Amino acid sequence: MPKNVLLLLATLFLFFSCRYSEMENRENILTERNDSSNNKLQESYDNVRLKDILQSARTSIIRFWNDAEAPDLPAPGPNEGLAIRLIVQGRDRGCLAWYKNCGDMNLFAGFCAVEALRDPRYEPVKPEEAEKTLIELTIFGDWEDMSDPHDYLPGYHNLWLINGVNNTILQASLVPERNYSKEDFLENICIKAGLDGNAWKENKNLMWRRSPGLWYAEPL
């Protein structure tokens, strides 16, 4: 993929990270303005801060490619959660989320980036694929329980599905990226969790949480 095309894709990711909810209906806009967790994210993470965290993830990947040394799990702390996702020519090639309580956000981004690089669900991203790769950072706001699987705004809320001891997260960025409907998003998080796509309708034992979030992507 030509580098200018990759830069265009990254620009679109940035556009959606800041503007997607403004393209939604009035309910979405009012929710965003009145969401204290979202307001805290906006105040804490401007684009300069997001770029800095993402750069830590990038540096960690390059160091791993050069030295084959994976960073240790950092100490947890009171900060938000985050996820690092690797996308090669539009296809997922690795992801790891630390849902909440990151300590040093830069250290956690570096840890999650290398773990995403080694995600057993995908073929590992190779150094020669770097120019074709987007690296996406998501920062999770406060998580809150949902009364019903429909109790979220697509493209605004990340979802956390709890099935017994198993936890699955799906980032809100997938909604504009893949043009998911509300039901599509629910079906895909169920499939990601190893469940039937209709489990969100049929399995009443599942627990659901949601959080607002910010996402930011750049070429690797």
Domain spans in the chain, listed from the N-terminal domain onward: 3-219
- pLDDT (tens digit per residue) in 86-132: 999 999 999 999 999 999 999 999 999 999 999 999 999 999 999 99
Kindly indicate the confidence band of residue 56, based on its pLDDT and cuts at 50, 70 and 90. Answer: very high
What share of the chain in percent tops pLDDT 70? Answer: 85
Residue 11's pLDDT is: 52
Kindly indicate the confidence band of residue 21, based on its pLDDT and cuts at 50, 70 and 90. Answer: very low
DSSP reduced 3-state for 96: strand
- Give the number of other CB atoms < 10 A from CB of residue 58: 20
Q: Are 88 and 124 in contact (CB under 8 A)?
A: no
**What mean pLDDT value characterizes the chain?**
89
pLDDT at 4 over 80: no
